[in-house]
Chains A and B, each alone.
Chain A
Amino acid sequence: MTADDGGPTGPDFGRTAGGGGAANAVHEHDNPVAGAFAEVAPEPGSAKPDPILIADGVTKRFGGLVAVDVDHLEIQRGAITALIGPNGAGKTTFFNLLTSFDKPNTGRVSLDGADISGVASYKLAKRGMVRTFQLTKALSRMTVIDNMKLGATGQVGERFLNALLPIWGRQEVEVELRADALLDRFNLTHMRDEFAGTMSGGQRKLVEMARALMTEPKLVMLDEPMAGVNPALTQSLLGHVKGLRAEGRTVIFVEHDMDVVRDISDWVVVMAEGQIIAEGTPDDIGANQDVIDAYLGSHTDHDFFDDLEEEVDQEVDAAAGGAEIPHDEEPS
């Protein structure tokens, strides 16, 4: 089988991790971390039983603006953690800081107990941490299969002098087999030899996720994996994200769609104005007044976050006795 099976497995969830298998359908009930958060306090900075990623005192300033100021955050191994917050909350900047795509002004980040602050971004893939981007980065003028093969780490033939020698052929075959297996799993086999640039937005998201899996990551960080994806494909993407958890991988993702967040996340971290203002299970967060205030405060006259709005509406309805929040219409 593929090396996926030997993949990262948290000690707590070893018994079920990997049970999903590469190509198997994944169902809701095989959540390997169900119950892991029972003892965790739903408050910012709370300690997790088995954290894979810990951020401490991470701040980033752009001139006078404090874009990110995260005191303490632990990410539970093997779980799906959602990072939400209104536009401009600093989610993507925080993502960039965690993955070394940007340098924090202060703070430390550790992965699996090892300090990774200041480690170059390209070295993190080998350490089992991989990310995707908000604006999908399909490598347009490369074929889908080349996109996939690129993802494999530790390729001998990627060294300049080795490239000329006949020593990477065998590894190339292995990499290609693994890439084809993943393409099959993500239902992209028919696009295999097409340029990635010819794909739809949703397919690009799928390729980006599949390509990230070629690095055999312990921790997958998805920046808005559902943005611009049609509803049908969203379901498929959600299934794949759950599939990552079933394999024992840890997932952190930034998302705006509250239905998605409620559907797949085990734990939700809410950011606003650079800080973490709340943590908890999706149910905790839905009932959290700080979160509602944060969203309301920033978007009363926009119609962003439609889905959160519904939820907020209900809260407001309850408080104001059925009055509608004026969206785009002029209040009469």
Chain B
Amino acid sequence: MDWGFILERTFSTMFGVEVVVFALAAVGLNVQFGYAGLLNFGQVGFMAAGAYGLGVSINYFQWNFLVGVAFGLVYSVVLALILGVPTLRLRADYLAIVTIAASETIRLFVRWRRMQEITGGSEGIGEFSDPFYDTALNPFNVGQRYDFGPFSYVGRDLWILLVGWILLISIVLVVKRLMGSPWGRALKAIREDEDAARALGKNAYVYKLQALALGGVIGGLAGMLQVVQKGSIQPDTFNPVITFTIWAILILGGPGRTWSPIIGSMIYWTAVSFLENVLRGLPEGPADTLESTIGLSDFNVSQVRFILVGLGLLLLARYRPQGIFGSREEMALDDR
């Protein structure tokens, strides 16, 4: 087995765009669930709102890239209002139902044949990300290869990684500041007990709406980052599995903690990448054994790695339910 290669691939995943995208989406979910206690099971819907807001603005309306970003954010807020206004006065589970349905509705809507002209239908949108890479702000040469010891990146990837990590860290710091403020305190109080917060003069409804919108906007940014990196928007990539991966990452890191989405995302994707590379790099003997016993082959490695990650998550839920950063004592207090 080529351990050098496996480790190199694994480490480059650890700081890769996928980690940033999912960490960002999980930061949004952390605002909603970790701090405000909102059950958003449609975070991928917010990512889609951001991505299509950007793509349609540029590709169909021929607007400027930054205007597209702004529209992506506006769509995320609008989606939060549509989902939140009718449900946030009701019990928490109503939001959960509505969000999961809405995220699927969005995916089916944008891939609808009637929408082909605007959203590209099932083929999606292809050309919109060039302004991001061609900007004069980009210090790297898009096509050039840059070497850092054993790691090697093209300029295009370096630029999006740079922007992604700066964006991610700044947003985590903004969220940290917000949650340390009286606003964040009121939000946590609403998570703990809405009636108590209302009796003390806090308008729980508005706080929840703000948290849903803020988390949605952060999810929208994650969606934009993802499609800008890919250079295309595919409607079917915005499926519910993404939402549940984001949940797994948040729970893995520990909800309600500042840095947990980033660490959760790193651990998750590192594990996935490590397993894939190990499974693919197995020497003949073990590989044959696995193929004859569990039917492992090059074709189903990507499924098997997720099965193994799922097993890992099960063990986590059993032995460390509070996540990496959570405190078990605090979790035991959860007697709402």
Using Cβ atoms and an 8 Å threshold, which residues of chain A touch B335?
Answer: 140, 197
Interface-centre pick from B184, B189, B256 (highest chain A CB count, 10 A): B189
Q: How far is A130 from B195 in the complex, measured between Cα atoms in Å?
A: 12
Q: How far is A46 from B191 in the complex, measured between Cα atoms in Å?
A: 42
Q: How far is A130 from B199 in the complex, measured between Cα atoms in Å?
A: 6
* Beta-carbon contacts under 8 Å, B157-213 to A: 174, 177-178, 181-186, 188-189, 191-193, 195-204, 210
- Find out whether the CB atom of B183 lies under 8 angstroms from the CB atom of A150: no
Using A137-B196, A140-B336 as known contacts, say yes or no to A163 and B182 having CB atoms under 8 A apart: yes
Q: Assess whether A319 is interfacial by the CB under 8 Å rule.
A: no
Using Cβ atoms and an 8 Å threshold, which residues of chain A touch B198?
Answer: 101, 121-122
Using Cβ atoms and an 8 Å threshold, which residues of chain B touch A160?
Answer: 178, 183, 210, 214
- Contact among A124, A149, A198 for B185, CB-based, below 8 A: A149
Q: Assess whether B294 is interfacial by the CB under 8 Å rule.
A: no
Interface segment, one of A106-114, A151-159, A263-271:
A151-159
Interface SS majority for chain B: helix
CB distance from B11 to the nearest CB of A (A): 35
Q: How far is A150 from B204 in the complex, measured between Cα atoms in Å?
A: 13
- Find out whether the CB atom of A139 lies under 8 angstroms from the CB atom of B186: no
Interface-centre pick from A149, A163, A168 (highest chain B CB count, 10 A): A163
- Find out whether the CB atom of B195 lies under 8 angstroms from the CB atom of A158: no
Q: How large is the interface on A (under 10, 10 to 19, 20 to 34, 35 or more residues)?
A: 35 or more
Q: How far is A172 from B180 in the complex, measured between Cα atoms in Å?
A: 11
Chain B, residue nearest A175 (CB): B182
Using A101-B195, A132-B199, A142-B189 as known contacts, say yes or no to A122 and B184 having CB atoms under 8 A apart: no
Q: How far is A142 from B335 in the complex, measured between Cα atoms in Å?
A: 13
- Find out whether the CB atom of A142 lies under 8 angstroms from the CB atom of B178: no
Using Cβ atoms and an 8 Å threshold, which residues of chain A touch B137?
Answer: none
Using Cβ atoms and an 8 Å threshold, which residues of chain B touch A133?
Answer: 195-196, 199
Chain B, residue nearest A198 (CB): B333
- Find out whether the CB atom of B184 lies under 8 angstroms from the CB atom of A163: yes
Q: How far is A155 from B184 in the complex, measured between Cα atoms in Å?
A: 12
Using Cβ atoms and an 8 Å threshold, which residues of chain A touch B256?
Answer: 141
- Find out whether the CB atom of B201 lies under 8 angstroms from the CB atom of A140: no
- Find out whether the CB atom of B199 lies under 8 angstroms from the CB atom of A131: yes
Q: How far is A121 from B196 in the complex, measured between Cα atoms in Å?
A: 11
CB distance from B83 to the nearest CB of A (A): 18
- Find out whether the CB atom of A125 lies under 8 angstroms from the CB atom of B333: no
CB distance from B313 to the nearest CB of A (A): 23
- Find out whether the CB atom of B334 lies under 8 angstroms from the CB atom of A140: yes
- Find out whether the CB atom of A121 lies under 8 angstroms from the CB atom of B199: yes
CB distance from A213 to the nearest CB of B (A): 11
Q: Assess whether B130 is interfacial by the CB under 8 Å rule.
A: no
Q: Assess whether B330 is interfacial by the CB under 8 Å rule.
A: yes
5 closest cross-chain pairs (CB), A and B: A125-B201, A197-B333, A157-B182, A163-B183, A163-B181
